[in-house]
Amino acid sequence: MTTNSAVREFKMPDVGEGLTEAEILKWYVQPGDTVTDGQVVCEVETAKAAVELPIPFDGVVAELRFPEGTTVDVGQVIITVATGDAAAAPVAPVAEAAPAAAPAAEEAEPEGRQPVLVGYGVSQGASKRRARKAPAGAPAAAPVAAAPAPAPVIPAPAAPVSLNGNGHAPAGERPLAKPPVRKLAKDLGIDLAAVVPTGPGGIITREDVHAAAAPAPAAVAAAPAAEPVAAPVAAAAPAVDAAARETRIPVKGVRKATAAAMVGSAFTAPHVTEFITLDVTRTMKLVQELKDDPDLAGLRINPLLLIAKAVLVAVRRNPEVNASWDEANQEIVLKHYVNLGIAAATPRGLIVPNIKDAHAKTLAELSQSLSDLVGTAREGKTSPADMQGGTLTITNVGVFGVDTGTPIINPGESAILAVGAIKAQPWVHKGKVKPRQVTTLALSFDHRLIDGELGSKFLADIAAVLEHPRRLVTWA
């Protein structure tokens, strides 16, 4: 990282396995600011999640190489820092350029700091953060003129500052908020400095941001709503002219990665989709009984839990479905473990984290794993490792009121099960037409790995367990 004894370069790190680029969402420092080892200097968005990057050395910021909103390849220099004796050079000009700025407050060393990335830096958590030397909207060109940087500075653009609802940069200490909350505020045009925090330790929560946005419903109404699928991306797009006939939305981050993966899967794995409609009245009754069971108190019990368990039972009866295709070696790789993927819709797009070794978990352990998976995904904290190594996936389209669909297999996996809405419908039960709880399952599978007979048996076994959930015991 060192270019010479005075100026050190910080490169875009590899923040996740297989990721090659990241978008700079926000800079938390400006040229002339003093930084310390472990201090968060910017927030970036990869194809998987938003991550705060801490600087690994002390010094004074000499140059920001890229403005906010720029997608940068891993390994490119994004910021340079003057260290040692050279660090004193830019300090005086900064003070002259911004005499009204408050000096940076000394930062207490937080206890129990947790790593943001494995083997790289730490997260500041809820501890106090160093205040900026100058407002975020201050011109960046003046202090850089005296900095010993080898290349001219790209000044921080004024546009991101305009995202603050009141049109000015926050003063004093940087407001405390998690990356998903900062992204939400940016999308809604809310200045975090003007938001009243209600979280522990003065942390701003999602509810605080929504409360701050409530007085301005007109801004929300201006967002395009023509295509529900594009909503997560459209929310992050610039304001749209109501008279415009078209709107162009940059494809990046999670949506870009998802698009590439789905195209690759659709045109690599020969898909076959089969459907089955079934009576799940008994399963719904069991869900209620389990909710009332004191042995499961405190656990999240829902239909998805029993559907996941039914899939695991069906895999045990049809182990050949749990496999992958090795193109290089022309081999089918049978997996003796099940990493069960659960498709999750998040503000950043669709992600598919998986429960490792789901086949070995009890019902209570599976419930806890599902709760942890969903909670982490909603907070935008799902790590790249959590989304790798899946063997097959469940996607619950029923939560949107959809009856069924033809899902695309997650790359590298063998199958994906779509669960439709569970509705009361007329059904022939014991020779009479009665209202019963009915749903439709759709199983898409890779025909290189699973032929029609095996796929049909697998889907039929899942349905059989859900129709008569006692098979969770008799078939286990």
Report the catalytic residues: 447
Q: Are 399 and 374 in contact (CB under 8 A)?
A: no
Residues in the chain: 476
Pairing of strands 344-346, 323-326: unpaired
Q: Is 307 exposed, middle or buried (0-12, 13-18, 19+ CB in 10 A)?
A: buried
The token duo for 302 is 């829902």
Cα distances (angstroms) measured from residue 46 to each of 137, 229, 329, 334? 26, 20, 31, 31
Residues 6+ apart with CB under 8 A from 166: 191, 194
The token duo for 214 is 């409530």
End-to-end CA distance of the chain: 55
Amino acid letter, residue 46: T
Pairing of strands 21-27, 71-73: antiparallel
Q: Where are the alpha helices (DSSP H) in 337-451?
A: 363-378
Distance CA 213, CA 186 (A): 11
Residues 6+ apart with CB under 8 A from 246: none
Sheet architecture: strand order including 50-54: 50-54, 40-45, 21-27, 71-73
